Amino acid sequence: MKRLLRYTLIGTALLCTLLLCAGYYMLGYALRPEGAARSRDLEGSMHYIRQTYPHIVPWIDSLQQAGAMRDFYIENTQGETLHALYAPAAVPTPRTAVIVHGYTDNALRMLMIGYLYHHVLGFNILLPDLHGHGLSEGNEIQMGWKDRTDVLQWMETADELFSREAGSTEMVVHGISMGAATTMMLAGEVGHGLYACPFVKCFVEDCGYTSVWDEFKGELKAQFGLPAFPLLHIASFLCEQEYGWNFREASSLQQVRKCSLPMLFIHGDADTFVPTRMVYPLFEAKPQPKECWVVPGVDHAHSYRDYPAEYTRRIKNFVEKYIR
């Protein structure tokens, strides 16, 4: 009997150790992925954007030649230095877009959306590098949750930068993928407490997930064939211990319920990385005003690439309802 008890205790301890190690592996796999190195590769990022979106190359070249695309740095509440690119409109205007990149991307890899707002619509633009991406400090990806407060700080910075010549800004926040989740997560804070942000007029989210929990649950099944229990629970617990947040609280779905400002939802109907089905509960949860465009035949984060003219038209029509 004593031997059985001893073996049971040893087996339990080994199982707990194995699960803990697996939880740490999953946490590192998700928040410190090998692919994150591309976010720090600025030369590679510029090559990618020029090759993928050749129609914006003359615009990029003209900004670089004129010194109009500039770097800006701030310090967040954790004392970390964050970086963004910004460019004032050719003609002074209060119209401003803050553009938020996705998982393992950076500000440079969002220049096609910068082109849309700056060159086509005549907006000021600011493109932040999220924590752990591009030229911003940080070692781990925050999946939009803690990023939401950093981007709120960037929004206030953009208002200060661009209101000097044209008065108080009128702002849209536009995010893709993890940047879309960040946009929805911060949208729930705008108008509440510390984040009044009267200059923000509307939001665009393009293929964002309902929550970090839902996204990781799907990827755990797709990549490893594993159920959520127990690894996702353990990894979420470890994330809270290591980084101060957990996968369930990082919910775009809960945040959009609190957002009263207009939001445009965009999602490709062939998206499997952030499954298309996620856009429907998000759209339903968001109070009016809201619009939705499910883009035929498009996979993850490629709606602008595949339909640039239609994407531009829909953004223009939506944004100009709320920004003069």
| Peptide bond between residue 289 and the one before it cis (omega within 30 degrees of 0) | yes
Q: What angle do CA 9, 13, 15 make, to 5 degrees?
A: 115
Pair 291, 319: CB distance under 8 Å:
no
Share of the chain residues as helix, strand and coil, in percent rounded to the nearest 5 = 50, 15, 35
Give the CA distances from residue 234 to residues 114, 155, 223, 251, in Å, rounded to whole numbers and listed in that order: 39, 34, 18, 18
Q: Which residues lie closer than 8 Å to 180 by C-beta, 6 or more apart?
A: 100, 102, 205, 206, 207, 208, 252
What residues of the chain score a pLDDT lower than 50?
A: none
Instruction: Using alpha carbons, select from 302, 318, 305, 310 the residue that is nearest to residue 263.
Output: 318
What is the per-residue pLDDT across 146-155, written as a single tens digit (0 to 9) for each? 999 999 999 9
- Residue found under tokens 């800004």: 169
Rounded CA separation 99/119 (Å): 14
Where helices occur in 136-211 by DSSP H, the ranges are 147-166, 178-187
Q: Which residues lie closer than 8 Å to 122 by C-beta, 6 or more apart?
A: 89, 90, 91, 93, 95
What is the per-residue pLDDT across 161-209, written as a single tens digit (0 to 9) for each? 998 777 789 999 999 999 999 999 999 999 777 788 999 999 999 999 9
CATH superfamily for 38-211+250-319 is: Alpha/Beta hydrolase fold, catalytic domain (3.40.50.1820)
Give the CA distances from residue 174 to residues 55, 86, 128, 231, 295, in Å, rounded to whole numbers and listed in that order: 21, 14, 11, 33, 17
For helices 2-31 and 231-243, angle between their N-to-C axes, nearest 10 degrees: 60
Kindly report whether the global pTM for this prediction surpasses the value 0.85: yes
Rounded CA separation 41/36 (Å): 9
Q: What angle do CA 114, 118, 121 make, to 5 degrees?
A: 120
Neighbours of 4 (CB within 10 A): 8
* First-to-last C-alpha distance (Å) of the chain: 80
Please tell me the predicted confidence (pLDDT) of residue 13: 57
Q: What does the block give as tokens for 28?
A: 């590192």
Instruction: Using alpha carbons, select from 151, 201, 182 the residue that is nearest to residue 252.
Output: 182
Rounded CA separation 286/289 (Å): 8
